[in-house]
Chains A and B, each alone.
Chain A
Amino acid sequence: MATFGNQTLNLCKSSALDFSLSEALCAKLTPSKAAVFHRGGKILEICGGVARSRFLAPIKAMEASETTTHANGQAKQAGCSSTADVLANNCGGFSGQSTLQMSTVGNSSNVVWHKCSVEKRDRQELLNQKGCVIWITGLSGSGKSTLACALSRALHARGKLTYILDGDNCRHGLNRDLSFKPEDRAENIRRIGEVAKLFADAGVICIASLISPFRKERDACRNLLPEGDFIEVYMDVPLQVCETRDPKGLYKLARAGKIKGFTGVDDPYEPPLNCEIVLHQREGVCDSPTILAEKVISYLERKGYLEA
């Protein structure tokens, strides 16, 4: 519920709300009305993270701040260990947390924590989602990239920010210096795990899609993230089905001996023993990418990743 002038609006959280609609709603709000809303609390949720920016006036730095803040222990900058330091050293001020900045503090009891930097939680609020890593693993041809695309499309349609890290795409850039030797494969996965972790920290739903055949390496990536934020999806498709698809012609080359160490042919694939989602596919019984994507999305919804 929100009070808007003399009207009361019944609004629900914007996760299902079309962004153009939320923008239209928020276009009615002016900075002055927005100020009224701030005292109401979590009003900013209502219009979703993006639309929020439209009615918040940028907050300029308050160098000689009237705001008394508690900076002990939380400020990360040098010389910022006390409020006096903060004001004397102009330690970045605390502009940026605009909702907090708007309260005037003097003798007032409205003293709030101003964090020095923007944290994951802040970004998640902005995006109205929780950052995580969806790690899609399986044989070549099991449908990983196809699922990744379908998933990102479906999440985008719900107003969620995703990004795909595909084993092949990454080898064009970050991992262009790596080959397919065992140590380089391990390094490929390690780097992608680290990058996925950064994306999750940024609040993005990061979809990593790579064969990643060894349990040890996938588990090492899992351990980079907080509990629950690493969502392993196993494309459980029999080798025969993958080989029949052979979308890149690689099985054919591998069987002809032209590629060595190809997963499934002359290199092992170690299926996950305990992953979050298993998508079974059998010959003749094949869910469409859209249906598979919806299974993953249901999981994300249940676990609360599609809201802040």
Chain B
Amino acid sequence: MSTVGNSTNIFWHECPVRSVDRQKLLNQQGCIVWITGLSGSGKSTLACSLGRQLHSQGKLSYVLDGDNLRHGLNKNLGFTPEDRTENIRRVGEVAKLFADAGLICIASLISPYRKDRDACRALLPEKFIEVFLNMPLELCEGRDPKGLYKLARAGKIKGFTGIDDPYEPPLNCEIEIKQKDGNCPTPNEMAGQVVSYLEDKGYLEAHY
């Protein structure tokens, strides 16, 4: 029995079906692909493309989108710094569960603070693939797919990342995606880059 955090009298339950068994079933290794970047940098688009490409190879993935989760698990959180941290913590914990279940879990959220992303990495350090969509603010603002930059510039949203809240780029991520000669890679090119990485590292097959 252990005491963990605020919970006393709890057990770890061992179970005969383990991560390695699920890997064998799915012929892949569970992991977390953490896509970070400014609003409008293309995270959800990349997540979508990546999911599709993986599916076409018979691989099971699931997208945890910052927005979607805020409608469900994280609906009791706002956008204060503490709530942003908690939002990311919970997504990280859920992503860890999905990775343990054998899925390639694609988390797509701004996640602007290094400390919060690193805390998620620490949950599953061997299987955490950070993808930084390094797109210039001007490009993201030019897209403004949800009209949020406009609202932020008009002062109608406070603490909007990139405008009046910082984005701390990763210092040491696994994959950085940026423009080439001022041109954006297409979603499929970006997804292809991630798929190649996963292939090279052996995530798209079971090891036993």
A169 to B8, CA, bound (A): 13
Contact call B52/A95, Cβ cutoff below 8 A? yes
B1, B51, B60, B63: the one contacting A96 at CB < 8 Å is: B51
Q: Which residues of B contact A152 (CB under 8 A)?
A: 15-17
Q: Answer whether A59 and B56 are a contact pair too, CB < 8 Å, given A117-B63, A152-B15.
A: yes
Residues B16-30 near A (CB distance < 8 A): 16-17, 21-22, 25-27
What are 20 pairs between A and B in contact, CB < 8 Å? A56-B56, A77-B44, A77-B45, A77-B48, A92-B191, A95-B56, A97-B55, A117-B63, A123-B55, A145-B13, A156-B22, A161-B60, A163-B22, A163-B100, A168-B11, A172-B10, A177-B5, A178-B5, A249-B1, A253-B9
Q: Answer whether A204 and B9 are a contact pair too, CB < 8 Å, given A116-B48, A195-B73.
A: no
**Chain B 163-201 interface mask (CB, 8 Å, partner A; 1/0):** 000000000000000000000001111011001000000
**Chain A 119-149 interface mask (CB, 8 Å, partner B; 1/0):** 0001100110000000000000000010011
Distance to closest chain A CB from B26 (angstroms): 6
Contact call B186/A90, Cβ cutoff below 8 A? yes
Contact call B9/A248, Cβ cutoff below 8 A? yes
Residues A42-74 near B (CB distance < 8 A): 49-50, 52-54, 56, 58-61, 63
Distance to closest chain B CB from A127 (angstroms): 7
Q: A50-B25, A53-B59 are in contact. List 18 more A-B contacts (CB 8 A).
A: A19-B25, A50-B26, A50-B58, A53-B27, A95-B49, A95-B53, A97-B52, A149-B15, A163-B97, A169-B12, A172-B12, A173-B96, A174-B97, A179-B7, A194-B72, A195-B97, A197-B72, A202-B98
Q: Which residues of B contact A203 (CB under 8 A)?
A: 60
Asked if A184 CB lies within 8 Å of chain B CBs, one says yes
Closest to A75 in B: B48
**Chain B 45-75 interface mask (CB, 8 Å, partner A; 1/0):** 1001101111111111111100000001100
**Chain A 148-186 interface mask (CB, 8 Å, partner B; 1/0):** 110011001001011111101101111111111000100
Asked if B102 CB lies within 8 Å of chain A CBs, one says yes
A80 to B75, CA, bound (A): 28
In this complex, which of B17, B96, B100, B143 has the most chain A Cβ atoms within 10 angstroms of its Cβ?
B17
Q: Which residues of B contact A195 (CB under 8 A)?
A: 73, 94, 97
Closest to A98 in B: B56
Distance to closest chain B CB from A49 (angstroms): 7
Contact call B96/A63, Cβ cutoff below 8 A? no
Distance to closest chain A CB from B31 (angstroms): 15
Asked if A199 CB lies within 8 Å of chain B CBs, one says yes
Asked if B6 CB lies within 8 Å of chain A CBs, one says yes
Count residues on chain A whose CB falls below 8 Å from chain B CBs.
74
In this complex, which of A96, A164, A197, A249 has the most chain B Cβ atoms within 10 angstroms of its Cβ?
A96
A171 to B13, CA, bound (A): 12
Asked if A78 CB lies within 8 Å of chain B CBs, one says yes
A275 to B192, CA, bound (A): 46
**Chain B 128-171 interface mask (CB, 8 Å, partner A; 1/0):** 00000000000000010100000000000000000000000000
Asked if A241 CB lies within 8 Å of chain B CBs, one says no
Sorted nearest first, the 9 A-B pairs with minimum C-beta distance are A53-B58, A96-B52, A61-B188, A179-B6, A176-B5, A78-B145, A194-B73, A90-B186, A174-B93
A77 to B49, CA, bound (A): 11
Q: Which residues of A contact B7 (CB under 8 A)?
A: 171, 175-176, 178-180
Contact call A90/B187, Cβ cutoff below 8 A? yes
Q: Which residues of B contact A194 (CB under 8 A)?
A: 72-73
Q: Which residues of B contact A171 (CB under 8 A)?
A: 4-5, 7, 10
Q: Which residues of A contact B26 (CB under 8 A)?
A: 50, 161
Q: Which residues of B contact A111 (CB under 8 A)?
A: none
Asked if B101 CB lies within 8 Å of chain A CBs, one says yes
